[in-house]
Structure 1
Amino acid sequence: MSVAEFAAANLSRATGAGLDPHEYLRVTGELAGLEEWGAAFMRAARGHLARAGQAATAISAGEHYQVAARWFHFATLGPNPEHALAAAEADTAMGRALDLLEPGARRIEGPGFAGWLRGPADATATAIVVPGLDSGKEEFHDVIAALSRRGMAVFAMDGPGQGVLAAGTTVRADYHRVIGRVIDALGAESAERVDHVGLVGLSLGGYYVAQSAALEPRVAAAVTVSGPFQLDWDLLPPPVRQLLIQRAGGKEADAEEAGGEEAGGEEAARRFAGQVDLSGLAPRITCPLLVVDGGQDVIPGVTNGEPLARLAPRGRYLAVAHGDHLLGNARPDWLAAAADWLSGALGAPADGS
């Protein structure tokens, strides 16, 4: 794939994540080849770090740190020999942003997860935002903001193989165990949180969320966005296979994750893909479930969410005909509606009061 094609394919994702479209087009338009992606995006991020250091107010500094975090995150999506450094810089920049813009945000970490709990300490409902295969907690700021405005506390997380944890962990199919640990940690912050926990999963995070809704009884409601119902390794495009191999391979997993064996390489990725199958779990999802899909989101080897919504006892399906993967080109068609739906399902005050 050429750099122009790769940049175009990620445009709606980047703008949906809050990157300025003009800056994105300028940065990507100057690339001579895709191998320059990571370095160029990290330079753009450091430009915002410099602006933060020169800002006249804490608000302006915090906003530049926040934008820097997103540029560092997007530096991990293309070729980048400094992938781990970019993810760590994204994490650090977001922490600096929250220190200035949301000083009440709490960092929470545990086995297999790390993230930020944002919003009022006395919120009666909490939403956990779960990223996808090559995503992280710095990406979905508009989703977090929409949920926060509706009175929910929001925990934006990285899990195994994601974001700041990608350098030392691998993807795992039993992600519901990680969600269980997150809920335990949230319960330690406030006992009320474990009674009103909602999940929002994006891309592969949609599979993680649906699986967790089926197997973790404390999940009260769930939303999936562009989540796969099923993967077929043999039909997946080569770039998707390679990404799965990267996120599944070359690292030593703990005994619980890998049964004491080394996780890595194509075999681990193929095994993981074979476990992404909700046909048996969907009927076990008894909580309210909203499944959001884009009609233009067509990836060979990926079965989209319609069967999940149909098989789940309380499933509801929202299809946006012109939506692409993650529906970054169609935010008005689903984001507010999904946030309202989750707020109502969790009993949170939709007006944030």
Structure 2
Amino acid sequence: MTAAEFAAAQWTRATGAGVDPHEYRRVADGLTSVADWGPSFVHTGLAYLERAEGAGPSVTAGEYLLTAARWFHLATLAPYAEAGRAAAAADRALGRALAMREPGARRLTGEGFTGWLRGPADAPGTVVVVPGLDSAKEEFLDLVDALLARGLAVFAMDGPGQGVLAATTAMRADYEQVVGRVVDALGVARVGLVGLSLGGYFAARSAASEPRVAAVATVSGPFRLDWAELPQPVRDIMARRTGGADAAREFAGQVDLTDLAPRIAAPLLVVDGGKDVIPGVTNGEPLARLAPHGTYLSVPHGDHLLGNARPDWLPHLVDHLTDTLIGARA
């Protein structure tokens, strides 16, 4: 794949994560190979760190830091020897931004997870945001903001093999164990759960076995994976995240919600993009159909993660979680 093809494939994902589309074009257009992706995106993130330093302790500095976090995270999407450092830089930038902008934000870390709890201490509901195969807590800041605007508390997390934990842990299929520990750490009786991309599988699987999940939503989540049909780039990412090709093949074989879907008692919203077609991936329609309280929202023009169609699904998802957790509001 050429640099131009890779950049085009990541276009709506990057802009959906909140980077300026014009700057994305300028950075991506300057790449001569995919190998340049990581260093160029890290360089852009460092430029925002410099701007933050120049702005002093201010709202503007916080905004620059959030932008830096996004660029550092995006640097990890292509094979990159320094991906661990880039993820760590994203994590630090997000932490510094929240310290400036939201002094009440709390870092929570436990076995197999780390992240930030944001929102009012007396929030009427709490939502956990679960990333996917190569995403991280820094990628879905707009989703977190939309949930915070409804008065909810939000814990955006990295789990095993994800984000800042990717360098020291391996991805695991039994993510419900991690979610259980997260809910323990949050100290709440019930949570909402939203998972994006492979995080949709993690969220659905967790909802099937964790009774404290009271509402759940998935975005571009797989219902089932077929290792033999998966594109080689997806296999390669999975191998890096799980600890090798054999571990990746075993992991993929566990991604199947056929038996788990009927056990999801919580109201479930499944969001898919009609243009999201990946060989070896069965999308979420069977999950919504088999779950006792499943609803399916397919956006015909949506791609993977639906970064090109946010108005068509994001308000619905936020409404679903808010209304289920705390009731409809005027």
Same fold (TM over 0.5): yes
Distance 1:66 1:129 in 2: 17
Secondary structure class of the residue paired with 1:293: strand
- State the one-letter code of the partner of 2:195: G
The answer to whether the Cα contact below 8 Å between 2:57 and 2:100 also exists between their aligned partners in 1 is: no
The answer to whether the Cα contact below 8 Å between 1:166 and 1:247 also exists between their aligned partners in 2 is: yes
> Which residue matches 1:255?
none
Which of 194, 199, 222 is matched with 1:200 structurally? 194
- State the one-letter code of the partner of 1:13: R
Q: CA deviation at 1:128?
A: 0.2
Secondary structure class of the residue paired with 1:75: helix
> Which residue matches 2:176?
176
After superposition, the CA RMSD in angstroms is 0.9
Q: CA deviation at 1:194?
A: 2.2
- State the one-letter code of the partner of 1:166: A
CA deviations 1:271-323 (Å, max 9, x no partner) are: 00000000000000011000000000000000000000000000000000000
CA deviations 1:150-179 (Å, max 9, x no partner) are: 111000000000000000101101000000
> Which residue matches 1:24?
24
> Which residue matches 2:52?
52
Q: CA deviation at 1:341?
A: 1.2
> Which residue matches 2:14?
14
> Which residue matches 2:90?
90
Q: CA deviation at 1:56?
A: 5.6
> Which residue matches 1:272?
251
- State the one-letter code of the partner of 2:294: G
Distance 1:194 1:159 in 2: 21
Which of 208, 213, 216 is matched with 1:222 structurally? 216
Q: 1:270 to 1:336 in 2, by over 3 A?
A: same
How many residue pairs match? The answer is: 330
1:241 is aligned to 2:220: no
Distance 1:186 1:77 in 2: 30
1:335 is aligned to 2:329: no
Secondary structure class of the residue paired with 1:345: helix
Distance 1:289 1:151 in 2: 21
Q: CA deviation at 1:79?
A: 2.4
- Identity percentage of aligned residues: 65
- State the one-letter code of the partner of 1:323: G
1:299 is aligned to 2:278: yes
Superposed counterparts of 1:111-122, under 5 Å = 111-122=111-122
CA deviations 1:32-53 (Å, max 9, x no partner) are: 1111111000000000000001
> Which residue matches 2:65?
65
Secondary structure class of the residue paired with 1:155: strand
The answer to whether the Cα contact below 8 Å between 1:19 and 1:67 also exists between their aligned partners in 2 is: yes
Distance 1:151 1:128 in 2: 14
Distance 2:207 2:118 in 1: 22
The answer to whether the Cα contact below 8 Å between 1:114 and 1:157 also exists between their aligned partners in 2 is: yes
Distance 2:142 2:45 in 1: 19
Which of 302, 311, 318 is matched with 2:290 structurally? 311
- State the one-letter code of the partner of 2:267: P
Distance 1:295 1:4 in 2: 24
The answer to whether the Cα contact below 8 Å between 2:216 and 2:267 also exists between their aligned partners in 1 is: yes
Distance 2:328 2:182 in 1: 23
Q: CA deviation at 1:146?
A: 0.7
The answer to whether the Cα contact below 8 Å between 1:236 and 1:301 also exists between their aligned partners in 2 is: yes
Normalising by structure 2, report the TM-score.
0.99
Distance 2:285 2:21 in 1: 31
Distance 1:121 1:183 in 2: 15
Secondary structure class of the residue paired with 2:265: coil
Distance 1:224 1:194 in 2: 21
The answer to whether the Cα contact below 8 Å between 1:236 and 1:299 also exists between their aligned partners in 2 is: yes
Distance 2:235 2:128 in 1: 27
Normalising by structure 1, report the TM-score.
0.92
> Which residue matches 1:103?
103
Q: CA deviation at 1:63?
A: 0.3
Distance 1:111 1:350 in 2: 36
CA deviations 1:172-199 (Å, max 9, x no partner) are: 0100000000000000xxxxx323x000
Distance 2:177 2:230 in 1: 27
Distance 2:181 2:123 in 1: 20
**Structure 1: 4+ residue segments shifted above 2 A:** 348-351
CA deviations 1:202-239 (Å, max 9, x no partner) are: 00000000000000010001000000000000000000
